[in-house]
Structure 1
Amino acid sequence: MIVIKGAAAALALVLLTAAPAHAAVNNPPTISDVKLYDQNACAAQDAPTVIPGAGSVYLSAEVSDPDTYSPQARFAIWPVDHPDQRQVVVGSVSGYSGPARKEWRPSDFAHGTVLAFQAQATDGTNDTAWSAPCFMRVDAVAPARGPVVSSAEYPADGSFHNGVGKPGTFRFDAEGDPDVVAYVWRSSSTPQTVLPAPTPGAPVTIEYTPTRDGIISLYVTALDAAKNRSPETSYTFAVREIRPAIALDVAGVGLPSTLRLSTGATTVTSFGYRVGDAAEIRVPAVAEGTNQVAAEVPLTVTAKGAVTLTARSFEGDAPLSQATKTFTVSDAPRVTSDDLFWPGTGGVAGRESTLTLTPRNADVATYRFTAGSEPARDVPAGPDGTAVVRWTPPTPGTVAVTVTSLTTAGTVSDETHVNATVLDPRPTIGVDNAGSWPPADGIGRPLAITLHSPAPGIASYSYHFNDGPELTVPFDGGGASITVIPDHAGANTIRARTHFSDGTTSAERTLTFQVSDAPTITSPDYPEGTEAGAPGIAGTFTFHPAQPDVQSYTYSYEYGDDQTVDAAPDGTATIVITPDSEGWKTLRVTSHTADDTASDPREYNFTVATGASITDKARQ
């Protein structure tokens, strides 16, 4: 046996004594500032916070826990007279501390119910004690009537009153309804504004200044303490336009222009105007009829660029209204033409047009004129500063015209850019049914041709069809219509010219188009496009070639199987068809040459008339 004595025994005792286990520390959370978040209130029971019955509230509390992330707050809510109806909802904190909020709706509780709520923080292990309760009262009834709105300056009587820029006072009145504590108003151009009533049910007055004329509406509702809204009142009134209208006929830089000021406010006796920051100049207003007064003032602008004019109207010495307008003054010359620019119909290629150049600067000596890609040319100005340019556009289309002016001192103006419309005197040629599918054209089948030119002063058109003689047709106001009958398939040609009232003639336009080589079909018994015959009555149908050297035809009746028939020496072939029913019928035919070249197909449509069939007649 081993015996340990003295210091060694003491050390052994220490080593053999078991160390206690480490205990984890979990600090409890804390809770404070329990309230209704939006109202920022924790009210007493004798003065509970009023909340809307149809809306929602946010229950809020400050929660903190140093060692638990996202602690929670439990919110308990119950009617004060029914604690047995207690309900609990939970809100969480983002982080270790901060507000815990929970949206809650009181819609299950009747109007007038007083509710208590309190909060408790929890970290999942430790809970705080419940806070002292806060109180709220459910208000589920909004004010019954919208507020009465009135204005002395802008009555809602359908007539125009006061004027743009003139303030008016507007009274919102809940007529003593003790439930109303505030008003909300807006207009189409004004955001919503809340105005508290000085005492419950008391009226409020606002000042509103219309910024435009015409019909304006204010929309007003009343609020109770729970922010329940009354029905909305729409107050509509009409505002006179009393601002002076400003018009400036800008002649150019350094040239006399005319400033015109006018208003429909016939009580105006004078106008004041100023250019930029210059001093205001007063001028008398003159009546123009019974509904307007105006003033016209000579005004010379000395530099190009933006010019701001401010005008005021006065009744005696009292200013009535004000308007501001900015104009752009340019020294680019004015370019006009009777035909090249709207509202003219357009110039005509190959025919001379004239353009008038008018200065927008003082002391203009020369103009520089450029049309399209043509070289620029200088045109001297006359004594009055204007010039006339004679120009013959070579081709039709839209041509860019650029003009500048040069003064005697060599100052070059801004450029004027305009687009000249140049019309083609040659007629356009349109061919009806050319290229249609299945083909509607062909040898011996009339084709409608239209001739048209937008150029003015047309008397007639002339044309050649293939190698035929030149024929003339009168202009009918919209062009001319002619009919030609092709005598061969393939390429056919129309050549046409326009003849003008002044005796001139346009160049010739040529159009080559293709005529189908589909065979033509005739029938004396069932003519194309008509109603004839009857069920059981046979009809003969003759195929006429458009191709040379036709040897055979394939055909189908009513989209049945293809049948083949040989052509006679003259290229024609005849078949017999006996319809077995009435109504619309289709015969489709293709010709074939000796080398089996197939033509376009031809569709021949006819209608079998309603009537007793041959079999029925025999039975009778």
Structure 2
Amino acid sequence: MSFGAGLRAVLASLGVLGLTLAAVASPASAADGTPTAPTQLFNGNRHCSADVNRPTHLWARDGLVITGIPGTTGDSLVTARYQIWPTTDPEQITTVTRDRARPRFEAPATVPAAALTDGQTYAWQAQTVAGNAASEWSAPCYVTIDNTRPANAPTLSSPNYLPDGWNQGGRPVTFTLNANGADDVTGFQFSWHQDLSVIGTSIGDYGIPQPVDPYSDPEYFKRADTPGGSATLSLIPPRGAGVMTLWVRSLDRAFNGSAVTSYTFRVGSTAPTVTPAVPSPEFGRKTTFTLRPDAALQSTSPVVGYSVQTGDGQGGTRTVDVTAAEDGTAQVELTLDGIYGELLQVTSRSANGWVSDAASWNISYDTTPTVTSDVYPENGSSGGAGVPGTFTFAPKVEDVVNYTYSFDGGPEVAVAAGPDHTASTEWTPDTDGFHYLTVYATTRSGIQLASYDYFFTVN
């Protein structure tokens, strides 16, 4: 994908449609001020270059968009007129206009691709037309048309993470990128994702482009040391272990991209170990976990902290950051209150930014209450319509203070637990056949525990 391709979507929103090739175009409304030369000149949404020896290089296979803010001392609509010519033939002038342009707003016009030659340098200038009056021409801008992408994909190599076999993780990956004989390459674009982003430009107030040098973003771009040269990267992989691939393409002065190439390598696990103070911590109790770094990782890049994420089995997660001691170990105290269990995932963080893959620890809990009945046994058949039965609820975990139940999907009823944390209720069926009871307990801290369904048949 090219720089120009990304800009066309932006320019469409500015209303480029309707521009015409013409020598002169007058606005529909009469001017009530004096026209002045346009300012804020841009080409291809990049800055105007006033230096003929350092023209802006642009992709223009679909035409070249040039723009400026037409000037006037009044507020009436005006016309922005642009002239462009090859620097080698100043008599070969092409004129394009933007009619009914608003003062103080950018007024883009498109030079047709048929009027431009790949590799040719052009000069262009802008003028404001108001009625029968015209301003002076702006100083010229210089562009070189570059519709040809670099001929070769770059080459990649790494001295410390080899493509064959598994590599010990912990150190940043060093990459050397080379233009591979394409002498128009000025830099490289890279990513851990195969789809490299389109290079574009934001549009600010009054339609003024806000161009940014892509090479100011070191996360994805690196300038070559010389045109057609090379660059060195030092990168932390996006995850701590597994198969990694870096995708790279070369860029020329117009930000045309070469074919994409890649470098694939493997990193062994650097996950820490997670050890609870007791083998099977109880539900609702605070438990201390000891976190220890991978020994090879600690010797390569000392661990300075951990990220501990807990999941309760119902989609709820919590994350705690823990600082490591000098030897890379740490302790964290957690309350395990997931009603179905807890899953811990722990990653270590080294001083150089390396983040390990995750170590996992989990435990399951049954927090449903136990249900018994003197008349209506579970999954049994007994009693009869009009025959009352007592249903008793008992906890499987500590600190239960009440129970909430319903019969056959009816309204919920709450009953307080006694000193022994049990509770009972009497229920009389009014019909025979299949019936069911749903009940869950609540702890003193307000945790609603897992519910239990109790099925029985009335004779």
TM more than 0.5: yes
The one of 235, 245, 258 aligned to 1:217? 245
Q: 1:154 to 1:184 in 2, by over 3 A?
A: same
1:203 matched residue in structure 2: 230
Alpha-carbon offset, residue 200 of structure 1:
0.9
- Find 1:228's aligned residue among 256, 271, 286: 256
Is 1:144 aligned to 2:171, yes or no?
Answer: no
Looking at structure 1, the residues matched to 129 and 413 of structure 2 have their Cα atoms a distance apart, in angstroms, of: 90
**CA apart distance, 1:215:** 3.0
Indicate if the aligned counterparts of 2:403 and 2:414 stay in contact, CA closer than 8 A.
no
After TM superposition, give the deviation of residue 171 of structure 1 in Å: 2.5
Structure 1 residue aligned with 2:175, among 138, 147, 170?
A: 170
Is this contact kept in 1: 2:367–2:450, CA < 8 A?
A: no
* Residues 153 and 162 in structure 1, CA contact (< 8 A), matched pair in contact too: no
Q: Could you tell me whether the CA contact under 8 Å between 1:80 and 1:116 is conserved in 2?
A: yes
1:357-376 aligned within 5 A: 357-360=395-398, 372=407, 376=415
Distance 2:371 2:166 in 1: 44
Equivalent in the alignment of 2:80: 73
**Using a 3 Å threshold, how does the CA distance of structure 1 residues 358 and 27 change in structure 2: closer, same or farther?**
closer
TM-score by length of 1: 0.46
What is the letter of the counterpart of residue 40 of structure 1? H
Specify the alignment match of 2:451 in structure 1.
418
User: Relative to 1, partners in 2 of residues 1:282 and 1:328: Cα closer, same or farther, differing over 3 Å?
Assistant: farther
After superposition, the C-alpha distances for 1:2-56 in whole angstroms (9 at most, x for unaligned) are: xxxxxxxxxxxxxxxxxxxxxx997542215484443322444454432224254
- The structure 2 residue matched to 1:348, chosen from 379, 389, 400, is 379
Note the alpha carbon deviations across 1:445-496, whole angstroms, 9 max, x for none. xxxxxxxxxxxxxxxxxxxxxxxxxxxxxxxxxxxxxxxxxxxxxxxxxxxx
Distance between the aligned counterparts of 1:34 and 1:300, measured in 2?
A: 60
| Mapping 1:560-571, distance limit 5 Å | none
Change (3 A) 1:25 1:85: closer
Flag structure 2 segments of 5+ consecutive residues without an equivalent: 1-29, 198-219, 309-319, 384-390
Q: Contact conserved, 2:127 with 2:136, CA < 8 A, in 1?
A: yes
Pairing of 1:1-16 with structure 2 (within 5 A) = none
2: CA distance between counterparts of 1:116 and 1:185?
33
**Which moved further from structure 2: 370-379 or 111-120?**
370-379
Deviation at 1:224, TM superposition (A): 0.8
- Among 139, 142, 149, the residue aligned to 1:135: 142
Output one character per residue of 1:303-323: Cα deviation in whole Å (capped at 9) or x when no partner.
979x998967799xx998668
- 8 Å contact kept, 2:38–2:128: no
Separation of aligned partners in 2, 1:266 and 1:70: 72
After TM superposition, the score normalised by the length of structure 2 is 0.59
Percent identity (aligned): 23
The correspondence for 1:402, drawn from 424, 440, 449, is 440
Which of 181, 187, 200 matches 2:186? 181
Contact 2:127 2:134 in 1 (8 A): yes
Of 139-148 and 271-280, more deviation after overlay is shown by 271-280
Q: Distance in 2 between matches of 1:254 and 1:221?
A: 54
Greater shift, 350-359 or 76-85, is seen at 350-359
Report whether the alignment pairs 1:51 with 2:25: no
Q: Matched residues in 2 for 1:31 and 1:284: separation?
A: 66
| Partner amino acid, structure 2, of 1:235 | Y
**Contact 2:247/2:260 (<8 A) preserved:** yes
Deviation at 1:144, TM superposition (A): 1.0
Q: How far 1:99 sits from its partner (Å)? A: 4.1
Encode CA deviations 1:417-459: one digit per residue, 9 max, x unaligned.
31315266xxxxxxxxxxxxxxxxxxxxxxxxxxxxxxxxxxx
Name 1:243's counterpart in structure 2: 271
Separation in 1, partners of 2:50, 2:144 = 10
1:520-535 matches, within 5 Å, as none
Shift of 1:98: 5.1
The whole-number CA distance in structure 1 between the counterparts of 2:333 and 2:52 is: 78
Tell me: CA distance 1:196–1:391, structure 2 relative to 1, closer, same or farther (3 Å).
farther
Write the deviation string for residues 515-554 of structure 1: whole angstroms up to 9, x where unpaired.
Answer: xxxxxxxxxxxxxxxxxxxxxxxxxxxxxxxxxxxxxxxx
The alpha-carbon deviation at position 93 of structure 1 amounts to 6.7
What is the CA distance between 1:403 and its match in structure 2? 2.8
User: Aligned in 2, Cα 1:61/1:239: closer, same or farther, shift over 3 Å?
Assistant: same
Deviations along 1:146-190, whole A, 9 cap, x unmatched?
211222343333x44344x75322222213532011211222399
Partners of 2:84 and 2:107 in 1: CA distance: 16
1:225 positional shift: 1.0
- Aligned letter for 1:95? R
1:161 aligned onto 2:167: yes
Does residue 194 (structure 1) correspond to residue 221 (structure 2)? The answer is yes
Q: Residue type of the partner of 1:59?
A: I
Q: Is contact 2:78-2:103 (8 Å) kept?
A: yes
- The one-letter amino acid of 2:225's match is P
| SS of 1:117 mapped into structure 2 | strand
Describe the shift of the 1:281–1:208 C-alpha distance in structure 2 as closer, same or farther (beyond 3 A). closer
Q: In the alignment, residue 242 of structure 1 is paired with which amino acid?
A: T
- One-letter identity of the residue aligned with 1:182: G
What runs of 5+ residues in structure 1 fail to find an aligned partner?
A: 1-23, 286-294, 340-345, 406-410, 425-505, 508-620
Distance in 1 between residues matched to 2:427 and 2:297, nearest whole Å: 54
d(CA) in 1 for partners of 2:414 and 2:55?
Answer: 90
Amino acid at match of 2:56: T
- Give the 3-state SS of the residue equivalent to 1:416 in structure 2: coil
